[in-house]
Structure 1
């Protein structure tokens, strides 16, 4: 089972111990990708190890004189930087998390440190893109909330006053019939009699005075 993690000259006993511990720690859908083992130049009885999965990165160190093993783990979404520094006697592999904490392991064989770094870079870029997408979605959601409120604001603040419906045109009342002025008619008739010589001047003047006195 551990043969796939021994291709780069990892120390078998250290890999077996880490692999056994990892099987108790893996979550649903989590898979081991690579295990790197420290190789100290003089004494390498209890080497530190680094294991990466598709969801987390683990740092294992020996405890109780090598009788037990303790670990720290970080989910990839919290890792903001992965670094490697190659030295004369191996390489230093380190990570930096969102809260600024740094964790590292030295004296890793260079080929193992490079593979850790390669996968770490892939995960770092993937998580950076996911964070960017989350930020965009949050901005879109916030922008959508603002736009949704604008119509309600406009309806209460800038709504034009309703235009009154035009009043129906009133049908004009028929003009009242105007009665002829009786006095004027009588005067005209009197004048016609005089003009036709039917009455004398005196009769015309007398009758005219009588009509005018009725005013």
Structure 2
């Protein structure tokens, strides 16, 4: 793997190599690393903390026990409420805000890396939210119930018939002749099937994400175009 891809904003390449080796063992199918931000304190830090984001999750890493152990706090995008950062004299303090539990922060993140983290995490959260909205729409699709045949009723009407005998008219004899008359029952038409298609913005975002996943566009092109689409909301 070309580790230099994750050291384009001044990250320590040695720390990048150690992190990527550990993270590769935790990647799931279809998951890949998008960006790694590495802590840089004013004093020399042998094993700094870091924040890694993939296309599925965010990893907050802290080396402990002189590098013999590593503590990871891992969140999927649906578990994260928001991201915030504060620029200070030496770098920035980046804070991840989950829906449940305490906020987690890492300070002394170089400012350029903190801004890139904020941009990428915000974009990932917006994409995750749009996916949830699309799933909610699918739940409201109403399936059309099968049409039941209308019941029928038979009505028998008596018919008068004259009986003639020896050329004389005998009083009419009423005889019930079964002549069924079919009257369809009034049945309310079933509710039409309701299908809500994705709106235009959602379709554009899906198409844009597909182009990015296929590596037909760069990360910067993806983010710029996505922000342009979202500004139309």
Choose the corresponding residue for 1:177, options 165, 168, 178. 168
Q: SS of the counterpart of 2:45? A: coil
Q: TM-score, normalised by structure 2?
A: 0.63
CA distance in 1, matches of 2:30, 2:168: 103
- Number of the residue aligned with 2:46: 45
TM-superposed deviation, 1:167:
1.9
Separation of aligned partners in 2, 1:105 and 1:174 = 113
Select between 92-101 and 37-46 the one with higher mean Cα deviation. 92-101
**Counterpart position of 1:114:** 115
> Which residue of the partner structure matches residue 4 of structure 1?
5
Q: Which has the higher strand share?
A: 2
* SS of aligned partner of 2:72: strand
Q: Secondary structure at the match of 1:41?
A: coil
Hey, what does 2:74 align to over in structure 1?
73
Runs ≥4 residues deviating over 4 A: none
Q: State how far apart, in whole Å, the 1-side matches of 2:164 and 2:88 are.
A: 115
- Across the aligned residues of Structure 1 and Structure 2, the Cα RMSD in angstroms comes to 2.7
Rg bigger for which structure? 1
Matched with 2:58 is: 57
Q: Mind listing any 5+ residue stretches in structure 2 that lack a counterpart?
A: 170-233
Shift of 1:66: 2.1
- Measured in 2, the distance between the counterparts of 1:88 and 1:171 equals 113
Q: Which moved more, 1:91-100 or 1:4-13?
A: 91-100
Distance 1:16 1:70 in 2: 17
Distance 2:118 2:26 in 1: 22
3-state SS of 1:115 partner: helix
CA 1:171 to 1:100, structure 2 compared with 1: closer, same or farther past 3 Å? farther
Pair 1:13–1:164, CA change in 2 (3 A): same
Provide the rounded CA distance (Å) in 2 between the counterparts of 1:20 and 1:121: 26
Map of 1:96 onto structure 2: 97
Deviation digits for residues 170-194 of structure 1 (CA, Å, limit 9, x no counterpart)? 423337727xxxxxxxxxxxxxxxx
